Each structure stands twice: as C-alpha cells, then as structure tokens.
Chains A and B, each alone.
Chain A
Amino acid sequence: MRNMGRLTPWLYLAAPLGLLVIFTYVPVVSMFSYSLTNWDGVSYDSEFVGIDNYVQLFTRPELFQVFFVSLYYLAASLFQIVVALYFAVVLSFKTRFRNFFKGILFFPYLINGVAVGFVFLYFFKQGGTLDSFLGLLGVQSRQFWLGDPDLVNVSLSSVSVWRFLGLNFVLFLGAISAIPSELYEAAEIDGANRWQIFRSIIAPGIKPILGLVTILSISGSLSVFEIPYIMTGGANGSTTFVIQTVKQAFQFDKTGLASAAAVVLLALILLITWIQRKIVPDERNELA
C-alpha cells in the first residue's frame, strides 16, 4: 500500500513527462550531437567534424547575413510595442465604441498565417490594394514592394506588425486595467494631467508586461518563418534564420549545418531570456 502511494504521482506524470522527454529533450541533445557532424539526415554514417559547422555559420557571409534580416523585424517590433501601448492607454480611458476598436485591433492576431500571407500578397502586388489606395490619395506608386531587395524586408516586417499588434495591445490593456482605479481618481483630484498619470501610475504598472513583451519580440524577431516563407519563399533577400535552417535541413540535406544553426538560435534565445530574468526579477513565477 505504501509503495502504491509513492507510485501514484508518477502514474499521472508518465504521459506528460514521456512526451516532454521524447519531443523536447531528446531532440535538443541529438541536435547538439548532429551539429558536430556532417550528417545529411539519411545516410547511416557521418563524420565527426568538430566545430566546423559553427565556424562556417559565422564566416560564410551568405549564411551570416540572415542576422541582418532579423534587425528589420526587431525594429518593426519596437515600433509595434509603442503603437500597441498608445492604443492600450487610449482605450483604457472612456472611449465610444471601445469594444469595437478593441476587436478590430486584436482580430488579425487570430487569423491563419497562410491566409494573412495571401491577404498581403494581394495587398503588395503590382496594382494591388496598396498601390490602388495610394492612387486614391493621389500618390502614383509602382513600387516592387516584395521584389525590391531594399523594400522587401520593410514590407514583410510591417505585415508582422499588422499581425501581432493585437496581442501586445491586449496584454497592455489587461495590465492597465489591473491598476486599481482609486489611483487614477486620487491623481485626478490632485490635478494631474494625462501625461503625469501615464508616467507615474500606468508606466510602473505595466513594467512586468513590458518586459515580457520585449522578450517575446526579440525571440520572435530571431525566429520569423511563416510570413516570409509563405509570401516570398525567402526570395530577394528576405531569407530569415529559420527559413535558411529549414532549407539547409530539408532541401539541401545538410542536417549537420542546420543543427548547428538551430543550436546557435536556441542559445541566443536562452541567453536573452536569462538576461531579461536578471534585469526584471519575476515575482509572479509561481512554479518555483
């Protein structure tokens, strides 16, 4: 009976732990070991090549340049945070049609990525929605929004602003509404203006969420895949880190090199998360 009692929790944990080990920990460990070989993903044998794959990643400019593409998405997500914060503040004060505006800002976040890709392929195509709309405003535009290597990443990262703005906005809105309303009332009695209310009440209240959103933005910018893959397939200089890794692994059969790339990405994301935890201590970490 005593023994049964000790076993009980493990019976409940068997399935989740099993899946966790098989689909998270085994891949992480094997990915690391592949990254030290020149395996092609299918053959029975492969050679140990040491850190050669890593050296290639950081020395071949065509492999390295994907990091510059991330910078576009990083800049876009900073812009997105500012805009999301603006609308969250605006809509946390009394506003007509508040729920309507909230719904419209949030809904794009729920849309299927392939559908978003199609919507914006039509938006950016020659004589598409954007060109026609600019025409209405009297601007004659015949830009190659997705064909021009100087423009393509700006166009694609603005799609990701359109898509993810809503999530950031709702997170900020939630954090602002959690601030006790007496604080605002007291501030208004003291004659504080909106800017003062923002600086001394709202800003401190949303600090933890701001930290979270920043970290999501940085790791998100590093792991962009769907939108550029669906829209351009990585053409015209829009290849991101993940597109390149997927192509190396599944088109060019360079499992070793792709694994090294994935290890680098994983390490970067873990590092960023660790730094963020150091800067903003998480009081709500209830698991530990």
Chain B
Amino acid sequence: MTRILAATGKYASLVVACVVMLLPLVTIFATSLKTSQEMATGETLALPRNWFNFDNYVTAFAKGDMLVAFANTAFILLFSITGTVLIGSMAAYAIDRFAFRLKRVVLGLFLVAALVPGVTTQVATFQVIDGFGLFDTRWAPILLYLGTDIVAIYIFLQFIRSIPVSLDEAARVDGASSFKIYRSVIFPLLKPAIATVVIIKGITVYNDFYIPFLYMPSEELGVISTSLFRFKGPFGAHWETLSAGAVLVILPTLIVFLLLQRFIYNGFTSGATK
C-alpha cells in the first residue's frame, strides 16, 4: 500500500514539475501562431485556429532584423569558439608539459581570475575596450569571451593529464618540435574535451545578453539577444510577434539539445565543477 502511495506521489510530483516547466513555453508557442484577431479575444490559453499560420514569424524575421542578428551571432560564435579552443589547449599544453619558472604564479593568476565574476568588472573593462577603440565593434565581445574563459583551460588541463607523456617522447625522438607535438599528437587526442568546450562556449555565447548589450549598441550589430530585446519597443503590444521572436531564438537551442543531450549534460557538469 505505502509502495503504491509513494509511487503515485513520485509521478504526481514529476507531472506537476513538467506542467510548471512547460506551460509558459507552450503558451508562447501557441501565441506565436495566432492572428491579431485571435489575440483580441483575450483567451490566453486557447489553441491557435490555424497551426500553420507563420505570418508572425515572417514579421519577426523581416521587421525584427533577425537575419542580421543570426549572422552577427554566427560570426561571434565562430571566432570566440575557435579562439577559445586554440588558446585554452595551448595554455593547458604549456602548463602540463613544460617545467618552467613562475609556473605556480601563472597557475595562481588563472585560479584567482576564475573567482572574479565578469559582471562586477565591466565598469572598468569598458574603459579598456574603449581605449583599444573596439567599442561598438564585433571584436569587443569576441575578445572578452576569449579573455575570460578560465573554465576551458581547466577542462583541457584535466584532459591533457590523461594523455601519456610517452607519446610526446616518442614523437620527440622522431625529431618532432614542441609545436609539431602539440599539433599532431596532443590536439587530435583532445577531441572529447574540445567537444565539451565547444558546447559550453557555444551555448554561453549564443545566450549572452550583458556583453553585447553593453558593448554593441548599434542596431546593425545586434546579436540574437539584443535584437530580440529591441522587439520590446516596436512590437510592445503585439504579443503574437514577440512570441514568434522568442520561439525563433529558442528553436536552435532545442534542436541542439535534442541532438546532443548526452554531451550537454556531461559538458555542463564538468564545466561547473571544474
């Protein structure tokens, strides 16, 4: 008897949790398919009459500059992910495979920096970016994403330790330079760590609002976060268009999540526990 009760309670709580998690999202999706006449009835939870009414998506795409936004986001993603992978793996290679003076100091610098939350230092970081003349360019967020990624270095460092040093030595005996060893021995073996870094970095950059908002106020430099944020003005009362914009932004994340679930869970677990 208690067993049945416990099982019922367990599934009931899971169902309640699903409703809480999904209800806000499902309503937005339904709203994005409604016409302005349907919206005027005020029946928020009513289902759309035509499930193939994509007019709001057309409006969001055309008038909301979403195409430009996706292009800018893709540009920033490409450079910051490639850069993070190269810089992070090189730093980890140097730290793990070389003995050098000041190694402890270097490690300490990375360790302490990991504790400094990015949100706190923007007041002064802004002056640095401005000083380089990079304010309101796409290079500002790219450099900031590259410069503050300590988590990637940790992930690479942990992984590089599991690669036997004997492989390096074998290559060195064959006359390979240290860069050749990094490029053709270490880097190819880092694939699982690279996958983790690409996923975490990709999702973080795609979702970031704070940095593009502060550093790229120009409308033509909008990324998906800031362009969607600008919907609030012109479409303020048109919830069907705002909803379509939100769904457009959520959809790529949902697809990536469904395809790469396992990697994503592992990635975020190792990213947070570094």
Binding site for B on A (CB under 8 A): 6, 8-10, 12-13, 15-17, 19-28, 30-31, 34, 41, 86-87, 90, 95-96, 99, 101, 103-115, 118-120, 122-123, 127-129, 131-133, 136, 162, 167, 170-171, 174, 194, 209, 212, 216, 219, 223, 225-226, 230, 242, 245-246, 249-250, 255, 258-259, 262, 265-266, 269-270, 273, 284, 286-288
Contacts A118-B28, A270-B115; A112 near B123 (Cβ below 8 A):
no
B196 interface contact, C-beta 8 A: no
Question: Are A112 and B24 in contact (CB-based, < 8 A)?
Answer: no
**A104, A110, A123, A246: the one within 8 Å of B21 (CB):** A104
Closest to A249 in B: B123
A23-B45 in contact given A113-B207, A115-B246 (Cβ < 8 Å): no
Q: A13-B106, A287-B157 are in contact. Are A104 and B18 (CB under 8 A)?
A: yes
**In the complex, chain A residues whose CB is within 8 Å of the CB of B18:** 101, 104
B257 within 8 A of A: yes
In the assembled complex, B90 has its CB within 8 A of some CB on chain A: yes
A9: chain B residues within 8 A (beta carbon): 94-95, 98, 100
- Least CB distance from B119 to A in Å reads 5
Instruction: Identify the interface centre among B121, B125, B257: most chain A CB within 10 Å of its CB.
Output: B121
Which of A17, A111, A245 is close to B207, meaning CB atoms less than 8 Å apart?
Answer: A111
Complex interface residues of chain B between 22 and 81 (CB less than 8 A to chain A): 22-25, 27-28, 31, 42-45
Name the B residues within 8 Å of A114 (CB-CB).
209, 224-226, 228-229, 246, 249
Closest to B6 in A: A194
Q: Could you tell me if A10 and B148 are in contact, using CB atoms closer than 8 angstroms?
A: no
Return A54 CB to nearest CB of chain B, in Å: 15
Q: Do A230 and B128 touch (CB < 8 A)?
A: no
Q: How far is the CB of B57 from chain A (nearest CB, A)?
A: 14
Which B residues are CB-close (under 8 A) to A86? 13
Per-position binary interface string of chain B over residues 247-274, scored 1 when its CB falls under 8 Å from any chain A CB and 0 otherwise: 0011001100100010011001100110
Give bound CA distance, A242 to B223, whole Å.
22
Q: Please tell me if the beta carbons of A112 and B253 are within 8 angstroms of each other in the complex.
A: yes
* CB <8 Å contact, B229 and A19: no
Contact yes or no, B111 A111, CB < 8 A: no
Chain A residues whose CB sits within 8 angstroms of the CB of B229 once the complex forms: 114, 230
Q: Can you list 30 A-B pairs, Cβ within 8 angstroms, ordered by A?
A: A8-B94, A12-B90, A13-B90, A16-B90, A17-B109, A19-B143, A26-B124, A103-B261, A104-B21, A107-B254, A110-B203, A112-B209, A112-B228, A113-B207, A114-B228, A119-B25, A122-B31, A127-B44, A129-B23, A133-B23, A136-B45, A167-B268, A212-B272, A242-B119, A262-B120, A262-B122, A262-B124, A265-B117, A266-B121, A287-B111
Interchain nearest-CB distance for B148 vs A (Å): 6
How far is A103 from B18 in the complex, measured between Cα atoms in Å? Answer: 10
Tell me which of A112, A170, A266 contacts B269 (CB under 8 A): A170
